[in-house]
Structure 1
Amino acid sequence: MAVNISVLILLLIAYLGATFYVAYLGYRKNSKTEGYMLAGRGVHPAIMALSYGAAFISTSAIIGFGGVAASLGMGLLWLVFMNIFFGIFIAFVIFGPRTRRMGLNLGAITYPEFIGKRFQSKFIQAFSGLLIGVFMPLYASSVIIGAGRFLETTLGLNYNIALVIFTIIIASYVIKGGLLSVMYVDAMQAILMLFGMGFLLIYTYSMLGGVTEAHQTLTDMANLVPPALAAQGHQGWTSMPAFGSPIWWTMVSTIIMGVGIGVLAQPQLAVRFMTVKDDRSLKRAVAVGGPFLLMMVGVAYAIGALSNVYFYRTMGVISLQAVPDGNTDLIMPAFLNHAMPEMFVTLFMLCLLSAAMSTAAAQFHTMGTAIGYDVYQQSIMKGKSRATVHVTKIGIAFTILVAVILAYILPGSIIARATAMFMGLCTSAFLSLFIGALFWKRTTKAGAIASLVIGSLSSLFWLTFVHAKEAVPLGICQAIFGKETLLTGTWPLVDPILIATPLSLIALVVVSLMTPQFSPEFLKKAFRLRFEDEKEESSEKVPSSAADSAGV
Structure 2
Amino acid sequence: MDVMILAIIFIVYIFALVFVGYYAYKKTNSSEDFMIAGKDTHPFIMAMSYGATFISTAAIVGFGGVAGQYGMSVLWLAFLNIIIGVFIAFVFLGKRTRRMGHSLGSLTFPEFLGKRFDSKFIHYASGLIIFCAMPLYAAVVLIGAARFLESSLLIDFSIALLILSIIITFYVLFGGIRGVMYTDALQGTIMVIAMVFLLVFVYWILGGVDTANTALTNMVNLYPADSIATGGTGWTAFPQFGTPFWWSLVSSTLIGVGIGVLAQPSLIVRFMTVKSDKELNRSVLIGGIFIAIMPTTAYIVGSLSNVYFYDKLGKIAVDVVGGNIDKIIPTFITMALPEWFVYIFLLSLIAAAMSTISSQLHTQGTAFGVDIYGTIREKSKQKLDQVSISRIGILIAIILALVMAFSLPGSVVALGTSLFFEICAAAFLPVFLGALYWKGITRPGAIAGILSGTFVSLFWLIFVFKKTAVGIGLCKFILGVETLLPAAPWPFIDVMLIAVPISALFTIVVSLLTKPPAQEVIDKAFKNIDKKGSDA
Q: What amino acid is the match of 1:436?
A: G
Cα–Cα, structure 1 residues 534 and 87, in superposed 2: closer, same or farther, change >3 Å?
closer
Distance (Å, rounded) in 1 between the aligned partners of 2:535 and 2:124 = 36
Map 1:138-537; keep pairs closer than 5 Å: 138-324=136-322, 326-379=323-376, 384-385=381-382, 386-489=384-487, 490-529=489-528
Cα–Cα, structure 1 residues 473 and 392, in superposed 2: closer, same or farther, change >3 Å?
same
Cα–Cα, structure 1 residues 249 and 529, in superposed 2: closer, same or farther, change >3 Å?
same
- Deviation track 1:197-233 (CA, whole Å, cap 9, x = no partner) reads 0100000000000000110100000110122221111
Report the 3-state secondary structure (helix = DSSP H, G, I; strand = E; otherwise coil) of the residue aligned with 1:384.
Answer: helix
Which segments of 5 or more consecutive residues in structure 1 lack a partner in the other structure? Answer: 538-552
Map 1:41-56; keep pairs closer than 5 Å: 41-56=39-54
- The Cα of 1:245 is off from its aligned counterpart by 1.4
Q: What amino acid is the match of 1:82?
A: L
Cα–Cα, structure 1 residues 530 and 230, in superposed 2: closer, same or farther, change >3 Å?
closer
- The Cα of 1:155 is off from its aligned counterpart by 0.6
Cα–Cα, structure 1 residues 536 and 431, in superposed 2: closer, same or farther, change >3 Å?
closer
- The Cα of 1:531 is off from its aligned counterpart by 8.5
Partner of 1:540: none
Distance (Å, rounded) in 2 between the aligned partners of 1:134 and 1:446 = 23
Map 1:40-79; keep pairs closer than 5 Å: 40-79=38-77
Distance (Å, rounded) in 2 between the aligned partners of 1:495 and 1:94 = 26
Map 1:130-141; keep pairs closer than 5 Å: 130-141=128-139
Report the 3-state secondary structure (helix = DSSP H, G, I; strand = E; otherwise coil) of the residue aligned with 2:309.
Answer: helix
- The Cα of 1:535 is off from its aligned counterpart by 10
Distance (Å, rounded) in 2 between the aligned partners of 1:323 and 1:249 = 26
Distance (Å, rounded) in 2 between the aligned partners of 1:118 and 1:460 = 26
Aligned 8 A contact 1:31 1:40 in 2: no
- The Cα of 1:321 is off from its aligned counterpart by 0.7
- Deviation track 1:444-474 (CA, whole Å, cap 9, x = no partner) reads 0000000000000000000000000000111
- Deviation track 1:450-499 (CA, whole Å, cap 9, x = no partner) reads 00000000000000000000001111111111111111211111001000
Distance (Å, rounded) in 1 between the aligned partners of 2:28 and 2:272 = 15
Aligned 8 A contact 1:468 1:493 in 2: yes
Q: What amino acid is the match of 1:105?
A: S
Distance (Å, rounded) in 2 between the aligned partners of 1:425 and 1:320 = 29
- The Cα of 1:522 is off from its aligned counterpart by 2.2
Which segments of 5 or more consecutive residues in structure 2 lack a partner in the other structure? Answer: none
Q: What amino acid is the match of 2:367?
A: A
Q: Among the aligned pairs, what percent are the same residue?
A: 50
Q: What amino acid is the match of 1:341?
A: P
Distance (Å, rounded) in 1 between the aligned partners of 2:532 and 2:310 = 63
Would you say 1:8 and 2:6 are equivalent positions? yes
Partner of 1:110: 108
- The Cα of 1:347 is off from its aligned counterpart by 1.0
Aligned 8 A contact 2:278 2:534 in 1: no
Return the TM-score normalized by structure 1.
0.95
Aligned 8 A contact 1:54 1:355 in 2: yes
Cα–Cα, structure 1 residues 532 and 510, in superposed 2: closer, same or farther, change >3 Å?
closer
Aligned 8 A contact 1:122 1:379 in 2: no
Distance (Å, rounded) in 2 between the aligned partners of 1:207 and 1:287 = 31
Distance (Å, rounded) in 1 between the aligned partners of 2:10 and 2:145 = 14
Q: What amino acid is the match of 2:33?
A: G
* Matched positions, count: 534
Map 1:28-43; keep pairs closer than 5 Å: 28-43=26-41
Cα–Cα, structure 1 residues 499 and 530, in superposed 2: closer, same or farther, change >3 Å?
closer
Distance (Å, rounded) in 2 between the aligned partners of 1:535 and 1:243 = 44
Distance (Å, rounded) in 2 between the aligned partners of 1:12 and 1:252 = 39
- Deviation track 1:238-270 (CA, whole Å, cap 9, x = no partner) reads 001111111111110000000000000000000
Q: What amino acid is the match of 1:384?
A: K
Partner of 2:86: 88
Partner of 1:543: none
Aligned 8 A contact 1:377 1:383 in 2: no
Aligned 8 A contact 2:275 2:535 in 1: no
Distance (Å, rounded) in 2 between the aligned partners of 1:536 and 1:9 = 46
Q: What amino acid is the match of 2:247?
A: W
Distance (Å, rounded) in 2 between the aligned partners of 1:323 and 1:181 = 37
Q: Which stretch of the first structure deviates more once superposed, 272-281 or 25-34?
A: 25-34
* Runs of 4+, deviation exceeding 6 Å: 530-537
Distance (Å, rounded) in 1 between the aligned partners of 2:379 and 2:496 = 33
Report the 3-state secondary structure (helix = DSSP H, G, I; strand = E; otherwise coil) of the residue aligned with 1:233.
Answer: coil
Distance (Å, rounded) in 2 between the aligned partners of 1:327 and 1:159 = 14
- The Cα of 1:283 is off from its aligned counterpart by 1.2
Distance (Å, rounded) in 2 between the aligned partners of 1:388 and 1:263 = 27
Distance (Å, rounded) in 2 between the aligned partners of 1:204 and 1:487 = 43
Distance (Å, rounded) in 2 between the aligned partners of 1:380 and 1:266 = 26
- The Cα of 1:137 is off from its aligned counterpart by 0.3
Cα–Cα, structure 1 residues 61 and 379, in superposed 2: closer, same or farther, change >3 Å?
same
Q: What amino acid is the match of 2:519?
A: P
- Deviation track 1:497-537 (CA, whole Å, cap 9, x = no partner) reads 00000000001110000111122232122111279798999
Please provide the CA RMSD for this pair: 1.4
- Deviation track 1:289-318 (CA, whole Å, cap 9, x = no partner) reads 001000000100011101000101111110
Decide which structure has the larger Cα Rg and report it: 1
Distance (Å, rounded) in 2 between the aligned partners of 1:532 and 1:352 = 42
Distance (Å, rounded) in 1 between the aligned partners of 2:121 and 2:518 = 20
Distance (Å, rounded) in 1 between the aligned partners of 2:329 and 2:533 = 49
Distance (Å, rounded) in 2 between the aligned partners of 1:174 and 1:23 = 8
- The Cα of 1:144 is off from its aligned counterpart by 0.4
- Deviation track 1:141-181 (CA, whole Å, cap 9, x = no partner) reads 00000111000111111110110011000000001110011
Distance (Å, rounded) in 2 between the aligned partners of 1:429 and 1:38 = 23
Distance (Å, rounded) in 2 between the aligned partners of 1:349 and 1:331 = 14
